[in-house]
Structure 1
Amino acid sequence: MNFLKSQSLCSLSNSNIQDDILMKKLLLTHDPDGRWLDSETMLHAVGNIMFHASTTQGVPSLHFTSLSKDDIYEIELLGCAEPVGSIISKISCMIMSKCSVEGDINSKTMGLFDLLGSYRWDAKVVLVIAAFAAKYGEFCGLMQLYQSNALAVSVTRLKQLPVDLRSLKPRLKALSLLVKTMMEVAKCIIKFESLPNLYTELGSDILHVTKFHIYVAVYWTTRSIFTCFSQVAEFTTKKHEQVYSDSTILAAWELSSLAYRLSSICNILKGQVDLCHQEIGRNLHNRLLSLAAEVQNDNQGFLSLLFPVKDYLPLKDCSTQEKIGVSELKNKIVVLLISKTEQLTLEESLLLVQQTYDHPLSERDSYKIIWVPLPSSDEWTDAEETRFNILSEFLPWYTVRKPRLLSLAVVKYVKEEWNYKEEPQMVVLDSNGNVINSNAIDMVKIWGPQAYPFSASKESELWQDENLTMRLLIDDINLLLAYWVEEGKDLCLYGCDNLGWIRKFNGKIEELKRQGLQLETVYVATSQLSEHVKEIMETLANEFDPSNLLLFTKLQFFWLRLESMRRSKVRLGKTSSDQVLAELSALLDMNEKNEGWVVIGRGSSSDITRLQGRQIIECLEKYEEWGDNVEALGLVGAIRNFLQPPLVEGPCSHSYLVPSSQAQVGGTVVCDVCKRTMKKYVVYV
């Protein structure tokens, strides 16, 4: 071994020993007491400050990210009575006082760690960066206002601040680069601290190495903050000719050197944190699989794995913005509404709200809905974050407070085990955390609270006794329609986007009403709602009785429910031979034929008829020929008897046996042979 190589190895060994000693001293100051700081939001606030500071005249921008909103939500600090602003001010004062006296920078740095001993590692590093950002932001704010604000001019002169920043560009650019690097380090540490408690199952080597690099990163970030404070302090403590001298180049070099060192530390730390996330992902996915296969006493274990348990209040009540822990869900049925932010449309959200939260029969205390938003890729975008904030402000359910903290392993589990197919999906967990329905969203849209407890077996049960009726088609999307259904009135739903046909139909209906026809008509447009439909609705409101017109949102509800009915039937394995499925498909496909249509029925009666536009106009024009039969046969029976006359003269002897499970207490059955209503008898066997 030559001398140079021996000396190099000796230096490296001494460096490692010194780092070990330094880190041991650092750990002696670390005594967290359970307080929790929202480090991520605070780091966003720092980014906002640096973004605006970088726009100061003469200061080059390094593309700091500014939030889409100018305001930052209140930064949370749990387990500590002292306000965040007071803590930052205390840190800033301590650093400034230590910068003003001579001394070893390492001793100064370790002294600051004594003040930060009660905080987690992510909070330590973010607090010291925030302290500098606040100080630097004040300086840059004065510089920005100097040209236009008399108060800023006076303060600048009083503090003897430099007003020409052009010669300071190298120093300010290096300063911005260092702060940006420190923020990247902080992001890595926050990412590690956000890992669920499963990180204790990591291999000892991975965990120990990662933690060691975190200690090193926190130390050098904090040490660099002292240098940053000193640089800004020089603007007021040195004469202008000294500030603008060659010392600026030396200062820029010192800042750049620190940035380079921190960048190297950050690159190593990123690799280690990524390894931890990969290992945790595998452990978490396996744990979810094993829990799903085990018998659980409650839902707490499963929900704690789904949501980030390091943040012990991972949910929020959207209606009150109150922070919620998974313990609030114990012994309750939990409905997980899973979707990407752009997939949960406004009209679909409103329908789900109506069918759950706003419904008069809703049993909100028996179950809880949690919106679980997923990103379009591995990383959340600003647009997704903005849309999440907007939706989470008006939805009445629970939601994940910080969806970006959802583990990729959880997202993978949702996609693979619950068969998530890029569409909104409702996964239902019983009180023990077992999946009782992998997608209940359609049954919720169709039946609302009647579908409780939203299990797959309940969906089959509801369809077993369900026929195509006006009650099913209309439900409670409109109070007036619901009243008409309860009253047993004859209703006519009609749809078309041909204004000429619509005018002709409505004109004929109004004429016949004056002659005694008892029929309420409701325009439902087509399944492809457009601006043209809105124009038609305005015309109808002006030319005919507007009381029977639905709001455009209610039309959206009508067609969303019909589509859900078809999907539900198909999912349950029904075929085109199923009468309800066939009728639903026909209604949904009507707009493709570009002609009018009507569906006429009464209340809960399954005796309904669907007619094309030409048929119903022909029928209405010949009302005198069949109107007298309405009292005996009912409106539907009279229309059917007119359009399809009896095949035989006089009574026929045809009989039809209806199983008791399908029998209807009310309503009528029309004979397939003579087209007359059949008499009802009960046969006991």
Structure 2
Amino acid sequence: MAQRFQLNPKPFTDPPADRLNRVSLIPRSAEQKQADNLGERRPLAPRTHEDKPFGEHSDGLHHHHAPPQNVEHDKVMDHGHENKMGSHVVPKTGHHPHSSEELHDVNSRHSLVPRSLGHNSLGGRFGPGKHQAFQRNGRPMFSLSDDRVMADRVLKTHSPDMVFFDVRSLLSVVDDIFKSYVPSIDSSASQPSLVFKDYADHASFEPFADLIEQITCEIDCKCLHTGESHGLMTSGLHLDSRNTTTFSVLSLVSKYRWDAKLVLVLAALAVKYGVFLLLAETYATNQLTKSLALIKQLPSIFSKQNALHQRLDKTRILMQDMVDLTTTIIQIYHLPPHHITAAFTDHIPTAVYWIVRSVLICVSHISGVSGFKQDQVMSFMEVSEIHENSERLRKINAYLLEQLKKSHLTIEEGIVEEEYQELIQTFTTIIHVDVVPPLLRLLRPIDFLYHGAGESKTRVGINVLTQKHVLLLVSDLENIEKELYILESLYTEAWQQSFEILWVPVHDSWTDAHDVKFELLHSKMRWYVLGEPRKLRRSAVRFVREWWGFKNRPILVALDPKGQVMSTNAFPMVWIWQSFAYPFTTARERDLWTEQEWNLEFLIDGTDPHSLNQLVDGKYICVYGGEDMQWIRNFTSLWRSVAKAANIQLEMVYVGKRNPRNGLEPIINTIREENISHTLPDVFQIWFFWTRIEGMWESKQRMLKAQRTRGREGFKEEEKDLVLQEIVALLGFGGEGDGWGLVSKASDIMVRAKGNLFSKGLSEFNQWEVNIPAHGFLKALNDYLMMHQPPHHCTRFMLPETAGIIPEEVECTECRRTMEKFYLYQCCLE
């Protein structure tokens, strides 16, 4: 990047030669010419107020007074381009009454480029540095003091009178013109396929045709009269009528909104650019075009395609940046009015100013006046000018897009919050006469379902659920296979006559891969499935997560025929009592627990028909688990010896453990191959066995919560609930890798113990067998095990967070002390 050097005055005899032989196109007065003849150069002071866009002083900045007119001083070119080009301007005098710092301040005061947008800043002549920060002191760099002064002047030209039109349609037409390519010129560029658009659906722009023509004439006239088509003429000279033209154009569109101003000005540029392209395209084949080009003095540039291609290519870059920034501003003014905050309005005038100035730059590069004729190859000054303005517009656009993104997020969050509160009222306070209206509010914009799978799959409306009990199966796409396996076996005709199941897949960010997974899962379902679940609103997802307690595990929300929520998760009731839990209300749950006895038949119901048959036949059943194969062999061997000695019929059933780390298939296969004992049919049945016990725990906790369970008072209720204590003990057994066992017979007591204690009790059978005749086998075994409990025999178990039922405190079923609570994050359980 070029650097700015302060020129210290020193004497010399002859001025250095201009190696590039550049010609100034700025008219010089007689006084200036006389000064030049004397070998002196004076800074060209602004002659009108219009030529000083930021006023006499910058906002909030102090400047020294300009030197007297009779004092000779240097002319320091802005942005240091002369240093880059190899041409130095130095004074001929040997003395200057002001310091170099004062001299620089005087010259920079008259520069048309704001000091805050100068060298090495957002608006620097060569663009920002590679590692330059986007903000300075916590605010955008294009909103520093000089730009604020300029923005104030822009605001003075703004007096909108609510004139609106379809700015997006007009900008679309403008963008099509900017992206047009001429085959004869752009032969080296990749050209889009030829597509003819039909603008019949665009609004009529006839009312603005005259205004667009006025803007075009204003731009053309100023460019032709001031001769500033060449980039060199706008690279830091103090007399910059481009600024005057900018405000003249803004005055023509003063009554329009900011976005409309920009579109109209860009339309004027599009007309200019489009006519130029048409002339360039037909110049070689059409006599009329040749004649027009001659009048416009274009033959020289049309005859050199490479130079013209270079100019058009560079200009298009700036055009696209203008369109991008204008599009952003249009999006801003389509926000709700109260969201168009100072974060936008403080910077839009600045953006408008620089877009209009960029339009003038583009006109100067495509107008075909002096710049094209004198220098066929774009000069460094011209290239840097386009680059500088492109970088400036991109920086402004990046900032506004950032603010626009924040506004969209705020608006979206507001909409989600409003819809979320509406759903809460829908399912808590509003009384419905049918289940369909609340379902439509929850699932909108989705209004149809699928029923059945495969060839029998049909599309139906949600109204098919009118006046029916509905179980909403809410889940994601990754943790539902086991629930589907069990539900499929329970979904009998009796179920279908009582209620309907509707699967509602929930996922935060839906992808094509999820569509494939959805179809795969759907193929296994005979019940209703939500159509197009990817369209489910964020408010609905938030509602089922926060209000109904959906985490990662599926839940089953029960709705009665009037849409009232009977249970936010009926899965525990379904696992425990299946269809007997209908209609899944809290009252029904309480009644079922009141009627239920705690015995082995209830524990294994629905998981192992073989064991149930053995119970009916009067056999003792020992349910055991663990992962230590050697302990399993030893434990089953001891049981066979004890059963033979006690003369009892015994059946042993392996039920594995909760959340096995490496899977249970190897253990199950070994048990079957060695004929050690009976096992549950498969891993799904083992999973269901433990899930059903977890459901018992959750159901009991829900009952306690309904009966006022807070603080220590809640544990008084828990201490009286012997069934809950047994459930917690089993969960503790199943959560550890060590062995354990439980034995019972029909409706008799259940004896349970950890593996080592149980094995020890069986191996010492001769010490307690004498009590069997008086107390019975189970009572004698239980008494012996309780007498030999180790000093430390507390319970430890882990539970998933389900529906917010995790209590603050839980007592150990062995030592009655409050258990410590830990958090466990775990995946890939199998």
TM-score of the superposed pair, with normalisation by structure 2:
0.44
Q: Is the 8 A contact 2:743 2:750 kept in 1?
A: yes
1:316 aligns with 2:450: yes
1:110 aligns with 2:249: no
Structure 2 unmatched ranges of 5 or more: 1-48, 51-152, 171-188, 204-256, 268-273, 275-280, 282-304, 340-407, 705-716, 785-830
Aligned to 2:729: 586
Distance 1:7 1:468, change over 3 A: closer
Aligned to 2:751: 609
Query: CA offsets per residue over residues 238-269 of structure 1, 9 Å max, x none?
Result: xxx99x96677777777776555545545655
Distance 1:435 1:359, change over 3 A: closer
**Identity score, percent:** 25
RMSD: 5.1
Aligned to 2:462: 326
Aligned to 1:563: 694
Which of the residues 538, 555, 565 maps onto 1:425? 555
Which of the residues 350, 359, 378 maps onto 2:482? 350
Which of the residues 638, 643, 652 maps onto 2:777? 638
Q: Is the 8 A contact 1:494 1:596 kept in 2?
A: yes
Q: Is the 8 A contact 1:626 1:639 kept in 2?
A: no
Distance 1:401 1:275, change over 3 A: farther
Aligned to 1:503: 633
Q: Is the 8 A contact 2:751 2:781 kept in 1?
A: no
Distance 2:780 2:741 in 1: 17
Q: Which amino acid aligns with 1:298?
A: D
Q: Secondary structure at the match of 1:109?
A: coil
Distance 1:366 1:639, change over 3 A: closer
Query: CA offsets per residue over residues 347-394 of structure 1, 9 Å max, x none?
Result: xx4245424654557512432233334445xx5577766765654454
Distance 1:98 1:483 in 2: 80
Distance 1:594 1:302, change over 3 A: closer
Return 398-407 or 443-452, whichever deviates more. 398-407
1:451 aligns with 2:581: yes
Distance 1:607 1:253, change over 3 A: same
Which of the residues 715, 739, 751 maps onto 1:596? 739
Q: Which amino acid aligns with 1:596?
A: G
1:576 aligns with 2:719: yes
Q: Which amino acid aligns with 1:551?
A: D
Which of the residues 518, 521, 524 maps onto 2:649? 518
Q: Which amino acid aligns with 1:426?
A: L
Distance 2:671 2:777 in 1: 28
Distance 1:644 1:304 in 2: 60
Distance 1:269 1:21, change over 3 A: closer
Q: Secondary structure at the match of 1:110?
A: coil
Aligned-residue offset at 1:450: 2.0
Aligned-residue offset at 1:451: 1.3
Q: Secondary structure at the match of 2:741?
A: strand
Q: Is the 8 A contact 1:333 1:428 kept in 2?
A: yes
Distance 1:6 1:470 in 2: 84
1:303 aligns with 2:442: no
Distance 1:6 1:613, change over 3 A: closer
1:369 aligns with 2:501: yes
Max Rg structure: 2
1:19 aligns with 2:166: yes
Return 481-490 or 467-476, whichever deviates more. 481-490
Distance 1:644 1:278 in 2: 62
Aligned-residue offset at 1:464: 0.9
Aligned to 1:176: none
Structure 2 counterparts to residues 602-681 of structure 1, below 5 A: 602-603=745-746, 605-614=747-756, 616-617=758-759, 620=762, 637-641=776-780, 644=783
Query: CA offsets per residue over residues 432-486 of structure 1, 9 Å max, x none?
Result: 0011122222212222222121112111111111122222221222343344455
Aligned-residue offset at 1:303: 1.0
Q: Is the 8 A contact 1:428 1:454 kept in 2?
A: yes
Aligned to 1:401: 531
Q: Is the 8 A contact 1:352 1:445 kept in 2?
A: no
Return 386-395 or 293-302, whichever deviates more. 386-395
Distance 1:392 1:268 in 2: 44
Q: Which amino acid aligns with 1:638?
A: F
Q: Which amino acid aligns with 1:498?
A: D
Q: Which amino acid aligns with 2:776?
A: G
Return 290-299 or 476-485, whichever deviates more. 476-485
Q: Which amino acid aligns with 2:464?
A: E
Q: Is the 8 A contact 1:488 1:602 kept in 2?
A: yes
Distance 2:618 2:499 in 1: 33
Q: Is the 8 A contact 1:619 1:639 kept in 2?
A: no
Distance 1:283 1:618 in 2: 64
Aligned-residue offset at 1:565: 0.9
Greater share of helix: 1
Aligned-residue offset at 1:582: 1.0
Aligned to 1:537: 668
Query: CA offsets per residue over residues 251-296 of structure 1, 9 Å max, x none?
Result: 7777776555545545655778768756654554454344432332
Aligned to 1:465: 595
Which of the residues 423, 441, 466 maps onto 1:288? 423
Aligned-residue offset at 1:423: 5.1
Q: Is the 8 A contact 2:488 2:525 kept in 1?
A: no
Q: Which amino acid aligns with 2:441?
A: L
Q: Is the 8 A contact 2:626 2:737 kept in 1?
A: yes
Distance 2:334 2:630 in 1: 70
Q: Is the 8 A contact 2:490 2:578 kept in 1?
A: no
Aligned to 1:439: 569
Aligned to 1:29: none
Q: Is the 8 A contact 1:357 1:364 kept in 2?
A: no
Aligned-residue offset at 1:411: 3.6
Q: Which amino acid aligns with 2:569?
A: N
Q: Which amino acid aligns with 1:316?
A: Y
Q: Which amino acid aligns with 1:456?
A: T
Q: Secondary structure at the match of 1:428?
A: strand
Q: Is the 8 A contact 2:558 2:568 kept in 1?
A: yes
Distance 1:483 1:400 in 2: 40
Distance 1:644 1:602 in 2: 17
Which of the residues 472, 488, 493 maps onto 1:336? 472
Q: Secondary structure at the match of 1:584?
A: helix
Distance 2:603 2:723 in 1: 11
Q: Secondary structure at the match of 1:439?
A: coil
Aligned-residue offset at 1:490: 2.8
Aligned-residue offset at 1:510: 4.6
Distance 1:536 1:487 in 2: 28
Return 459-468 or 405-414, whichever deviates more. 405-414
Distance 1:591 1:327, change over 3 A: closer
Q: Secondary structure at the match of 1:565?
A: helix
Return 463-472 or 612-621, whichever deviates more. 612-621
Q: Is the 8 A contact 1:494 1:599 kept in 2?
A: yes
Distance 2:574 2:437 in 1: 26
Distance 2:737 2:498 in 1: 45
